[in-house]
Structure 1
Amino acid sequence: MDVLKKLSEYREKINDELERLLDEKIENAKKEYPGAADYLEWIRDYNMRGGKRLRPAFMVAAYEGVGGKEMDKIYKASASIELMEGYFLIHDDIMDQDDLRRGGPTLHVAYLDYYKKHFQGSEMRAKRFSEGMAIIAGDYVQSLAVEALLNSGFDQARIVEALKVYEYANQSTNFGQFLDMLSEEMKAEEVTEEHTMNIHKTKTSIYTIEAPLLMGWALGGGSEEQREAFSNYAIPLGQAFQLQDDILGMFGDVKKLGKPVGSDLRDGKKTILVIKALEKGSPEQKKKLLSLLGKLHITEQEIEEAKQIMRDTGALDYTRNKARELASEALEAIENVELAEEAKQYLIGIAEYLINREV
């Protein structure tokens, strides 16, 4: 199977549904809340800028895998998990104080520009206004996500089961963000591999893979065996995906990535690469790596020094091998369960793509 072609097919239909839903909300706002129509246009733009649509694609594939046939309904429902991502990203941009998202301004930055064009006030008032408006936007998108699931047309009992999974993902991701922000302030030597892998589980495995699969499973009326297999596939795959992301962030090809490597080091992130290098390194290597971790104006030469420490201590090999082991665990779980063949081949193929990708 050409898994990227299949993902593209999923993405086209998911985008059509997202566009229909958001356009409908804009038209309704023009009639009922005229002042809010522009606000919703910005939300529409933010959510339609791009993205692989991996999460809703996982949801649709799981639904097909357990024998679901009502494709119009599942595409309507799949908008919910993509809008959940939009809600998280809007709030995440504020917490990280990011200016750009998918090639465009983040919502709080867009509203900062809006404030300066239309109002006069202090920098503090402008910041409070812009971040407040973005928080409201995120909350609205969260509400819209739930509404998309409720209005999908599925049997009420199945919608309730899917909503339980949705809230499980919502709460798990919030816990993961809490742990992640906590680790940012902890000393590097205090952050353990277990702590970091738990962040990967809650922020990547559950929200990106397990929850979409289980929502599709719930709406398709799958078996308990299938549910267990989806979870056993999702958790290690999400962790492997994040480890591969960490490796690419330090050792990837700049031309393929389209961005400089070493940003995780500059941001002071305690990845498994860093944790293992500190654990296995000599006193000199530890001292050097700690001096570079979180260094705002780190040079290319210093990034190369950090990379060499990660190679020499075995941190790179450890991380790479752990990602492969987790990926094998995920593939074994999905290969041994009864699913519609095309959906199974997609899940196998997308797993292999995620762990072998170079971007």
Structure 2
Amino acid sequence: MVTVTREADRLRERMSRYLDDFLEREASGLAFLGDDLDVLRRILLGFVREGGKRLRPSFVHWGHRAAGGSPDDEAVLAAGCAVELVHACALILDDVMDESDTRRGRPTVHLALAEHHGGQGWRGDPGRFGESTATLFGMLAYTWADAALLRAGPRLAEALEVLTLLRAEVVGGQYLDLAHAARGSADLAEAARISTYKSGKYTVERPLHLGHAVAGGDPRQRAVLSAYALPLGEAFQLRDDVLGVFGDPSTTGKPVGADLRQGKHTWLTALARERADGYGAALLDHVSDEADVAEARELIIRTGALDTVERRIADLVSRATEALEGGGVPAEAVRGLSELADAATRRNA
């Protein structure tokens, strides 16, 4: 396990260096922005560089290793960089759609851009400028993902097919999330479908498939990776749902109860709503202030929904790791994926 942990640390360091070099190279092509290039460097490049645990590139790496890829192959860094840029785009746009003020304990990209507008004394509405410019920055990160993938080696076509599917699924999942929040209802099955496509597949399964594609892996290994990834992706999102309601803002970097206030239809809240009485169900549909958040949290605990979700997470992680047994995945990759499963679901942020 120590060896695997050291490799994980080494991967994060290599990924950060690769991202730094890539971002500088791509940003230099935008010199025509003049002084505004400094804004892009500070806000967009800073957001990509300083945030996150590099979880998705880690899944790319271990999908590559599971398919027999070398840990020193720079093509897997390029693929990991592509996924991390898609993730940055998704977070930036998600914060715009949710009207969020903080991300990772700092102002969201659109809010930082609004503050820049106000500080410059420019004309127009700072909020509108911030949201519009953040959308452009998200699109730029999305575009740079393709530029990163161009360095992913001779199996570019296979890799691009996976990355395209990843992006289409996360867009579809985000639409489902918005649509069901607007409709005001989602049962357990719908909540599970939303979380699978909004987060689970693009966090675990498709990054694994991307690494597998870059390594030119056997299709049978890809099936084993999916058997591991699907339950783990669900467990990852369930942990995210729990943190969205019960997490410590100083650790998660987001206001407590934000998902409740925004009417997000997660598996956790759908289960609590199903078990609650009429008043409790109505409360979960109309959370507006801190008092409502506190009452909703108590309701979720009282209905046993939180305990059920914790048991489900543990069961899903067990199913994921068991899927690797006897599947022809190299032993070191099995250890790495097992450790990654634990890290993805026992996190506090």
TM-score by length of 2: 0.89
Tell me the CA shift for residue 195 of structure 1: 0.8
Kindly state the Cα deviation for residue 137 of structure 1 after the two structures are TM-superposed.
1.2
Query: Please, what is the CA RMSD of the aligned residues?
Result: 2.5
Residue 183 of structure 1: aligned partner: 180
Indicate yes or no: 2:231 matched with 1:229: no
Offset at residue 311 of structure 1 (A): 3.8
Tell me the CA shift for residue 185 of structure 1: 1.7
How far 1:33 moved relative to its partner?
4.9
- Alignment partner of 1:343 out of 317, 333, 343: 333
CA drift of 1:257 comes to 5.7
Moved more, 4-13 or 140-149: 4-13
Q: Secondary structure at the match of 1:68?
A: coil
Q: Is contact 1:83-1:142 (8 Å) kept?
A: yes
Structure 1 residue 15, shift from structure 2 partner: 0.4
Instruction: Report the AA paired with residue 354 of structure 1.
Output: A
Change (3 A) 1:223 1:100: same
Tell me the CA shift for residue 303 of structure 1: 4.7
Q: CA deviation at 1:278?
A: 2.4
Q: Structure 2 CA distance, aligned partners of 1:304 and 1:118?
A: 39
Pair 1:290-2:282 in alignment? yes
Q: Which residue of structure 1 aligns with residue 64 of structure 2?
A: 63
Cα contact 1:277–1:286 (8 A) shared by 2 = no
Equivalent pairs counted in the alignment come to 346
Q: Which moved further from structure 2: 324-333 or 172-181? A: 324-333
Is the Cα–Cα contact under 8 Å of residues 266 and 298 in structure 1 kept in the other structure?
A: no
What is the alpha-carbon distance in structure 2 between the residues aligned to residue 22 and residue 111 of structure 1?
19
Cα distance in structure 1, aligned partners of 2:54 and 2:147: 19
Q: Percent identity?
A: 34
Cα separation, 1, equivalents of 2:249 and 2:137: 34
C-alpha distance 256-140 of structure 1, shift in aligned 2 (>3 A): closer
Tell me if the contact between 2:225 and 2:324 (Cα under 8 Å) persists in the aligned partners.
yes
SS of the residue corresponding to residue 48 of structure 1 reads helix
After superposition, the C-alpha distances for 1:237-275 in whole angstroms (9 at most, x for unaligned) are: 111111123234444567866777544333332322322
Supply the AA of the counterpart residue of 2:282.
L
| 1:113-128 matches, cutoff 5 A | 113-123=115-125, 126-128=126-128
Instruction: Classify the secondary structure of the residue corresponding to 1:269.
Output: coil
Map of 2:88 onto structure 1: 86
- Per the alignment, residue 234 of structure 2 pairs with 239
1:159 maps to which residue?
A: 156
Change (3 A) 1:115 1:250: closer
Determine the C-alpha separation between the residues in 2 that align with 1:145 and 1:58: 17
Contact 1:289 1:309 in 2 (8 A): no
Distance 2:182 2:48 in 1: 31
- Equivalent in the alignment of 1:193: 188
Q: Does 2:165 correspond to 1:168?
A: yes
CA gap of 1:337–1:115, structure 2 versus 1, over 3 A, is same
1:191-220 CA distances to partner (integer Å, 9 max, x unpaired)?
A: 111111011110112111111110100010
TM-score by length of 1: 0.87
Q: Which residue does 2:129 correspond to in 1? A: 129
Select the structure of larger CA radius of gyration: 1
Say if 1:38 and 1:216 are closer, same or farther in 2 by CA, change over 3 A.
Answer: same
Structure 1: runs of 5+ lacking an equivalent: none
Whole-angstrom distance in 2 between the partners of 1:256 and 1:93: 18
